[in-house]
A and B are shown apart, each in its own frame.
Chain A
């Protein structure tokens, strides 16, 4: 069945970077885009960006421009989201979601930024 399995929880210090993975299975990986969405504790959903099926095209929310990088590895059917210069406000659950249209979501990865 179609599945997105994300990497485990991370704890990072302010100023560090984090790289979250999202491993896809059950479908032709290169045929679908992948979105990244985050959710701070007790808050709503926030769209971060998208990486397109070819893997050479990305689009990021303006808020994250310059700090986020989305990549994909077609040999392992895995998409990555790296966020740099972390601050406490980046503490959130990070989700990948297959699209378009958006259908399946990963289980989420908790990233905690704390000194």
Chain B
């Protein structure tokens, strides 16, 4: 099974910009992996922020955006707010195989 890698932790200042990445042990992440990004706060269910690399749901704050960057999936937060402090997970789909979650990135807004 493929391994999906994320930064264990990142810190961003309020109002600042940060990029979280999502790598694959099989090689470059492409649009064909249909990258997802989920946000999870303590004691809550995950919330889907981004699907298929860069698509947002109606509830996704405009300050979040998804892309491909340097062979990885990327989630960029521009103008971080205190309420963005959370764990963020990516999910990649593999042709002929089952989707795999990354280990998560704990984002601190400080």
Chain A residues within CB distance 8 Å of chain B: 37, 44-47, 49, 59-62, 95, 97, 101-108
CB distance from B103 to the nearest CB of A (A): 5
* Cβ-defined partner of B101 (8 Å) among A46, A60, A62: A46
The count of chain B contact residues (Cβ–Cβ below 8 Å) is: 22
Q: Work out how many contacts link A and B, with CB atoms closer than 8 A.
A: 51
Flag if B46 contacts A47 (CB, 8 Å): no
Stretch at the interface among B14-22, B23-31, B50-58, B72-80: B50-58
CA distance A65 to B4 in the complex (A): 21
Beta-carbon nearest neighbor of A106 in chain B: B45
Q: Collect the chain B residues with CB atoms within 8 Å of residue A45's CB.
A: 38, 40, 46, 89, 91, 101, 104
Is B48 at the interface (CB under 8 A from chain A)? yes
Q: Collect the chain B residues with CB atoms within 8 Å of residue A44's CB.
A: 89, 101-104
B55, B101, B103 interface centre (most CB from chain A within 10 Å): B101
Q: Collect the chain B residues with CB atoms within 8 Å of residue A62's CB.
A: 1, 98
* Cβ-defined partner of A105 (8 Å) among B45, B51, B55: B45
Is B100 at the interface (CB under 8 A from chain A)? yes
Is B64 at the interface (CB under 8 A from chain A)? no
**7 pairs of residues in contact across A and B, judged by CB atoms under 8 Å:** A37-B46, A37-B101, A44-B89, A45-B38, A49-B98, A101-B34, A105-B45
CA distance A45 to B39 in the complex (A): 11
Decide yes or no: A103 and B57 within 8 Å by CB, A44-B104, A62-B1 being known contacts.
Answer: yes
Q: Collect the chain A residues with CB atoms within 8 Å of residue B46's CB.
A: 37, 45, 95, 97, 105
